Amino acid sequence: MFSQKGQESAPFELLIAVIVMTFVIVVGFNALNILNKKTCEGNLNQNLEQIKSAIESVAKNKSKINIGYDLPSCFNESDAKLRIIERNDISYCSAICGGSLAQCTILQFSSTRPSYTETKCLRISSATSFPIGLPCDTSIFTEEYELVNWKRGDWEGEEGSPITPGAYTLMRQGNLVNSSPKICVYKRS
């Protein structure tokens, strides 16, 4: 027959097994949540790098680039802002861009829910502009495009994000007389 001691310890062993299994499941779900969050942040960071590279390339020498800005599903569009900001702060610019810059232009993503901020230094001239009028012209496209302005300084007091998710075409406009880059930003409707 069974021993009395074995029968008494069986419920206790079962309780311990249930507690350990519950702990493993909770830790596993937490690990999956952290992995999903880091994957989402990585996708956003990759997209920001593509936008940064496109802006720098068009500002320096390329005439036209098509890019997309996709907000990952872990961020809510109403809580997230992507903008281009100019700063005149040597300590801030040095921390973000390196060196000893007194003025810098940055690409900044910020989200309140979930709380997340990513900042990229744009290595472009401070004279770079994103005009919404001349020399930009939407009639050069056969599809529906809207001319948008990405420079934050032109939205004084506005709360919304000037850069919204979508497909964009960046085109450099300029001439030999004016060397400051003018980047026309067209958003596909």
Separation of CA 43 from chain center: 9
CA distance 65 to 48: 15
Q: Give the DSSP H or E segment for 94.
A: helix 90-97
User: Is 53 domain-assigned?
Assistant: yes
Q: How many domains does the chain have?
A: 1
User: Is 91 domain-assigned?
Assistant: no
Of residues 56, 78, 183, 77, the one with CA closest to residue 132: 183
User: Is 150 domain-assigned?
Assistant: yes
DSSP per-residue letters across 60-79:
HT-SEEEEEE---TTS-GGG
Exposed/middle/buried for residue 150 (C-beta within 10 Å: 0-12, 13-18, 19+): buried
Widest CA span in the chain: 103
pLDDT for 60-117, tens place per residue? 887 889 999 988 888 888 888 888 888 888 898 999 888 888 888 899 998 888 888 9
Q: Which of 8-17, 117-126, 170-179 has the lowest mean pLDDT?
A: 170-179
pLDDT for 106-116, tens place per residue? 999 988 888 88
User: Is 89 domain-assigned?
Assistant: no
User: Is 177 domain-assigned?
Assistant: yes
User: Is 178 domain-assigned?
Assistant: yes
pLDDT over 80 (residue 3): no
User: Is 21 domain-assigned?
Assistant: yes
C-alpha angle with apex 27: 25 to 31, nearest 5 degrees? 115
Does residue 187 contact residue 166 with C-beta atoms inside 8 Å? Answer: yes
Domain housing 135: 4-74+126-188
Provide the 10 A C-beta neighbour count for residue 133. Answer: 9
pLDDT for 150-173, tens place per residue? 775 444 444 434 688 889 989 888
User: Is 15 domain-assigned?
Assistant: yes
